[in-house]
Structure 1
Amino acid sequence: MPNKSPGPQIKDKDQYEALRDKGYSKEKSARIANSKGAEKRGGHAKKYEDQSKKEIYAEAKKVGIEGRSKMTKGELIKALRRN
């Protein structure tokens, strides 16, 4: 990305740019760049299958997945994994 600022909401702009250069989506790059130490924690998140549809829906909303209100729990999980 030639000299284009990702915006003030991105905490780690270098990491964001590196992820975008690797082909990650804008949303996923921002989510990773804004997480505090996520690369150090690892393995602490509950599996999607162990969460309620309400919890999965909230995550899909946070990520910005379109059409989420009409998706089943399984479809939401697939959409989150693709994003």
Structure 2
Amino acid sequence: MPNSSIKDEKTYEEIRKQGASKEKAARIANASANEGRKKVSSRGGRSGSYEDMTKGELYDRAKKVGIDGRSSMSKKELVDALRNH
């Protein structure tokens, strides 16, 4: 089902198949449509593993992306929520 706010539907669908959230897939697809895939992919990096982060760091990241209920989550729950957001 086409979404008018998605500028590169093919990229969006591929990113969603890899398990990314709708929000993240839309952000990447729209950036690649605006700037070109090669430029977007060249600036992408890798962050550390969630398991290597402290609960406080995970909480801050969850807060930044707007995960509800984060204050009562365990470290494992925060990791799961961040991966599936």
TM-score range, shorter chain: 0.5 to 0.7
Cα-to-partner distance string for 1:9-61 (whole Å, 9 max, x where unaligned): xxxx32xx335434723222145345x73x4344x311112212121112212
Point out the structure with the larger helix share: 2
For the aligned residue pairs, the C-alpha RMSD in angstroms reads 2.8
Distance 1:76 1:29, change over 3 A: same
Q: What is the deviation of 1:82?
A: 2.2
- Percent identity, aligned pairs only? 54
Residue 24 of structure 2, aligned match among 24, 28, 34: 28
Q: Do the aligned partners of 1:27 and 1:63 also contact (CA within 8 Å) in 2?
A: no
Residue 56 of structure 1, aligned match among 39, 46, 58: 58
Q: Normalising by structure 2, what TM-score?
A: 0.57
Secondary structure of residue in 1 paired with 2:78: helix
Name the count of aligned residue pairs: 72
User: Aligned partners of 1:20, 1:69: CA distance in 2, in Å?
Assistant: 31
Q: Normalising by structure 1, what TM-score?
A: 0.58
Q: Which segments of 5 or more consecutive residues in structure 2 lack a partner in the other structure? A: 32-38
Question: Match for 1:48: what amino acid?
Answer: Y
Match of 2:36 in 1: none
The reply to whether residue 18 of structure 1 matches residue 10 of structure 2 is: yes
Secondary structure of residue in 2 paired with 1:59: helix
Q: Which segments of 5 or more consecutive residues in structure 1 lack a partner in the other structure? A: 7-12
